[in-house]
Amino acid sequence: MKALLALEDGRTFGCRSFTGPGEASGEVVFNTSMTGYQEILTDPSYRGQLVAMTYPLIGNYGVNPEDVESAGIQAEAFIIREYQAHPSNHRMTASLADYLSARGKLGVDQLDTRALTRHIRKAGAMRACISTSDLDPVSLAEKAESIPAMVGLDLVSTVSSRAPWYWKDGRPAPGPNLYENPGPSVWKQAGGAFRVAAFDFGTKYNILRCLEAAGCEILVLPAATDAETVRQLAPDGIFLSNGPGDPEPVGYAVETIRKLIGFRPVFGICLGIQLLGLALGGRTYKLKFGHHGGNQPVQDLETKKVAITAQNHGFAVDVDSLDARKAEITHMNLNDDTVEGFRHLEYPLFAVQYHPEAAPGPNDATYLFKEFTKQMNDFR
């Protein structure tokens, strides 16, 4: 089925839908990962975005119920060069086309993803619209231009959970009613498990898997949970998750984080580092085309070691905006010198811009989860 992608600047790309009729719009970004398309599609950080894969052959191993990073597909649409209609893998339970179409998501192929990627790298990430029914370039570009820009958009409220829930034995489980029971009795595990209150700004499941593997009992909290509720829970540590969009409109979370600094050890990932940066008085800004993929080189400024990391974000902390008397930069991106990590100089607080849990991507940085448990143990 013929389809057309139009960017807000008027550039168009012909393609075809392999999932049937439909239309989708959002900010178009490219991802450089060679595998892991199911994890990418279900990553809440992609809410509001059309994802284009730079690797040309996608769909060859199908999908399965185990490789998901949230409760559903989060990307608005999927853009690839060549769809593999005959997948083969011993774990697969469905094809990529069936997976997308069953959830009402548009997938297109036969699009020149190399040309699209080069255009985004030169002009920057921008709004786009894909349609199988409206093939008029002018009309489609006008639709793209009419959708809200990513800057100033609070997407966290669209992906965060509405009620608390536990992560237990590798899967979500019903959580407590914090209105009736806001105290430390919500923790169920006896013994030495570290009690972690994890803010859900759009968290990936594999982050929770890694925290559990590191010896943590995890209570996942809605993004709008206030500081006093967290204090009443008396956790051993506080985790700030990844999530979509611009961090600045998420002022309610910034205010909560500011009130919790120094209360317990804090660990932030992706959007978590940006919210922490704002809470410490810093600023954030939008990157030209973001970091999306599993091959971003990050240097630890203390050890000088370089890790290849998985990343997915369109905003970053302004390195010059952080008060050097409060925060120390610990990691930098070797491609563009953007902030990849910092720690507080007085309190047990650290954060990274990249994804140490990967999924998909390399596992060079999984040691950070143990570093978090060490901080909680020392704080006890």
Greatest alpha-carbon span in the chain: 64
What six digits make up the tokens of 44?
């809440």
In angstroms, the Cα distances linking 213 to 27, 237, 272, 276 are 35, 15, 21, 25
- For position 181, what pLDDT does the model report? 82
pLDDT digits (tens, 9 = 90+) for 95-120: 999 999 999 999 999 999 999 999 99
Residue with the larger pLDDT of the pair 37 and 180? 37
**Is 344 one of the annotated active-site residues of the chain?**
no
Per-residue pLDDT, averaged over 177-191, amounts to: 88
pLDDT digits (tens, 9 = 90+) for 3-36: 999 999 999 999 999 999 999 999 999 999 999 9
Per-residue pLDDT, averaged over 318-333, amounts to: 95
**Is 355 one of the annotated active-site residues of the chain?**
yes
- For position 182, what pLDDT does the model report? 85
In angstroms, the Cα distances linking 265 to 54, 190, 207, 285, 333 are 38, 21, 17, 26, 25
**With 90 as the cut, is the pLDDT of residue 224 above it?**
yes
- For position 130, what pLDDT does the model report? 98
Q: What is the pLDDT confidence band of residue 192, given thresholds at 50, 70 and 90?
A: confident
pLDDT digits (tens, 9 = 90+) for 115-169: 999 999 999 999 999 999 999 999 999 999 999 999 999 999 999 999 999 999 9
Indicate which residue of 119, 313, 344, 355 is catalytic: 355
Record the pTM. Answer: 0.96
Query: Is residue 349 a contact partner of residue 327, using CB atoms and an 8 Å limit?
Result: no
Q: What is the pLDDT confidence band of residue 189, given thresholds at 50, 70 and 90?
A: confident
Which domains, and CATH codes, for the chain? 2-146 (3.50.30.20), 156-379 (3.40.50.880)
**With 90 as the cut, is the pLDDT of residue 268 above it?**
yes
Query: Is residue 307 a contact partner of residue 374, using CB atoms and an 8 Å limit?
Result: no
**Is 212 one of the annotated active-site residues of the chain?**
no
Pairing label, strands 77-79, 106-109? parallel
Q: In 8-73, where do the E strands start and end?
A: 12-17, 23-31, 49-53, 57-58
Per-residue pLDDT, averaged over 296-304, amounts to: 97
- For position 186, what pLDDT does the model report? 94
Residue with the larger pLDDT of the pair 179 and 42? 42
Mean pLDDT of the chain: 97
Per-residue pLDDT, averaged over 203-210, amounts to: 98
- For position 315, what pLDDT does the model report? 98
Pairing label, strands 266-269, 349-352? parallel
For the chain, the straight-line distance linking the first and the last C-alpha, in angstroms and rounded, comes to 61
Q: What is the pLDDT confidence band of residue 180, given thresholds at 50, 70 and 90?
A: confident
d(CA 271, CA 50): 19
- For position 179, what pLDDT does the model report? 86
DSSP calls for 99-133: HHHHTT-EEEES--HHHHHHHHHHH-SEEEEEESS
Query: Is residue 4 a contact partner of residue 13, using CB atoms and an 8 Å limit?
Result: yes
- For position 290, what pLDDT does the model report? 97
- For position 234, what pLDDT does the model report? 96
Indicate which residue of 8, 76, 270, 313 is catalytic: 270
21 upstream amide cis, omega within 30 of 0: no
**With 90 as the cut, is the pLDDT of residue 191 above it?**
no
